Amino acid sequence: MHMEPRYTYGGDEFLFAELAEEMSLEANFRVSAITQHLKNKELSGVVDICPANASYMVRFNPDVLSAEKLLAEMQNSDRTTSQSSRVHLSARVVDVPILFEDPWTREALMKARDRHQAPDSTDIEYAADINGYATKEDFIQALVGAPYLVSMTGFVPGLPWCFQITPRNRQIEVPKYVRPRTYTPERAFGFGGAFACIYPVQGAGGYQLFGIAPGPIFDREQRLPDFKESMVFPQPGDIFNYRAITMEEYEALRAQVEQGNFQYRMTSVEFHPDEVISDPEGFSRRALGGLYGD
């Protein structure tokens, strides 16, 4: 069902559009289609277009573009892209290695057991249990068994919100901590609600911690090749495939980061949203086949 967007003003310079009340692949693909359509218009006065999980926001200069004119353009883009079968999207498909149950995130989570729902277990043991998996190994296989759509970035610079491309009845969900931790390692791989993420920098956090990534997703100095155009690597619409690695692989990749020659393995895929929604497993095989050559 095509729900009518809810538009609201944010002061003199922002217009906010809410497309749905909950995150879904359908809602996020609609966000992608509308925001791309708006970007292609290259409207004079538009400062920034910020896509989110099931909404988007446009910042504009009211001295150049009136709020009424912008609202009409947003409504037009919604109507133009309302038929998903006509929408054509493209995405980067990125291999994202993860060392599960690493010593650094384990130390952080064990120091915060008084803030957790299950103080006598680790985060990954708790998450496996409440999602009905017999072992944490089975749970890890489910985590890496299908790629993730980067539905938005934000909260802290570069943090990707990653929604797994899998049938809804197999969606992994875990609550956040009862009270947030005061410390989370940089590059920690976490999960909260239905979203996976990588913490771009060290800081507080409330997501369950499962592992750590060797590669950065935020590079303030823009040392690495993948960050030449932006200090933030993830982009809304990316497809991340999290892949379990060993400590030996982790250390080798960290050495590449230190030497300044680490690069993410990636390719691109073009698709119609209906393809993903009707057959997520088939789409995932096609996308990952282009990445790994399988």
Kindly write down the DSSP assignment for every residue of the chain, as one continuous string: --PPPEEEEETTTEEEEE--SS--HHHHHHHHHHHHHHHHHT-TTEEEEEE-SSEEEEEE-TTTS-HHHHHHHHHHHHHHT--GGG--EEEEEEEEEEEET-HHHHHHHHTTGGGSS-TTS-HHHHHHHHTT-SSHHHHHHHHTSS-EEEEEE-SSTTPEEEEE-S-GGG---BPPPSS-EEEE-TTEEEEEBTEEEE-SSSEEE-SEEEEE-SS-SB-TT--SGGGSS-SB---TT-EEEEEE--HHHHHHHHHHHHHT-----EEEEEE-HHHHHH-HHHHHHHHHHHHH--
Residue 94, pLDDT above cutoff 90: yes
Residue 156 has a pLDDT of: 87
Q: Would strands 181-184 and 203-205 be described as parallel, antiparallel, or unpaired?
A: antiparallel
Q: What is the pLDDT of residues 172-219, one digit of tens each?
A: 999 999 999 999 999 999 999 999 999 999 999 999 999 999 999 999
Banded pLDDT at 122 (limits 50, 70, 90)? very high
| pLDDT at residue 294, rounded to an integer | 63
- Asked if the model's pLDDT at residue 1 lies above 60, the reply is no
Retrieve residue 101's tokens: 């149950």
Length of the chain in terms of residues written: 294
* Cα pseudo-dihedral 125, 130, 136, 138, rounded to 10: -170
Query: What are 67's two structure tokens?
Result: 């709020």
Residue 64 has what pLDDT?
Answer: 97
What pTM was estimated for this model as a whole? 0.94
**Distance (Å, rounded) from C-alpha 104 to C-alpha 251?**
13
Q: Locate tokens 């400590």: which residue?
A: 247
Question: Using only C-alpha atoms, what is the Rg of the chain?
Answer: 20
Is the separation of the CB atoms in 195 and 162 below 8 Å? Answer: yes
pLDDT bracket for residue 284 (50, 70, 90): very high
Exposed (0-12), middle (13-18) or buried (19+): which is 196, by Cβ within 10 Å? buried
- Give the model confidence (pLDDT) of 226-244 as tens digits: 999 999 999 999 999 999 9
Q: Which of 14, 107, 110 is nearest to 56 (CA)?
A: 14
Mean pLDDT of 70-95: 90
Spacing of C-alpha 132 from chain mean position: 24
Residue with tokens 């969900």: 173
Structure confidence at residue 3 (pLDDT): 75
Say if residues 181 and 115 touch (Cβ distance below 8 Å).
yes
Residue ranges of domains in the chain, CATH in brackets: 6-83 (3.30.1360.40), 90-292 (2.40.100.10)
| Dist CA 182 CA 145 (whole Å) | 31
Please provide residue 287's backbone torsions phi and psi, each rounded to the nearest 5 degrees: -65, -45
What pLDDT is attached to residue 2?
63
pLDDT > 70 in the chain, percent? 98
The DSSP bridge pattern shows strands 89-100 and 208-212 to be antiparallel
- Which of 266, 242, 283 is CA-nearest to residue 142? 242
pLDDT digits (tens, 9 = 90+) for 126-164: 999 999 999 999 999 999 999 999 999 988 888 999 999
